[in-house]
Amino acid sequence: MNYSLGEDLKPFEIEIDKYRPYFYAGASGDFNAIHIDNDFAKAVGLPGIILQGLCTMAYVYKAFANNIDPANIKKLKVRFRNIVQPLDRLTIKGKVSKVENDLTTIDLEAVNQNNEQVITNGCAVLEM
């Protein structure tokens, strides 16, 4: 797949199901109580359990990587801006900001259903 400079990627939308933090905890080994214990999460000042940051990052990856050989992804970085909770609806957007030689750079961001940024300054570099 080839991208053009300035091209907007089709937005990727996903609703975080209520069990995702538990599934991700089992898969990743991240059993921090803020992800799996609602009472604990509230006791430390959160509105309830939150999704693991790396799970959110995985959704950013999924937004552009469905039709790409994973070996072509040379870099992926994000900045976590806000928490993500179960039942949040995320929209991940990307725009091609640079095409140079065989490398394509895509700027990425994610917002929740309230249009609050949850991921900022995201960047993927692909070898095409």
Whether 49 contacts 102, CB under 8 Å? no
Per residue in 53-101, pLDDT (tens digit) is 999 999 999 988 877 888 999 999 999 999 999 999 999 999 999 999 9
Q: What is the CATH superfamily name and number for domain 12-16+51-127?
A: Hotdog Thioesterase (3.10.129.10)
Q: Of all helices (H) and strands (E), which one includes residue 109? A: strand 103-111
Average pLDDT for the chain: 95
Per residue in 7-64, pLDDT (tens digit) is 999 999 999 999 999 999 999 999 999 999 999 999 999 999 999 999 999 999 998 8
C-alpha 53/C-alpha 62 separation (Å) is 14
Q: The pTM is what?
A: 0.91
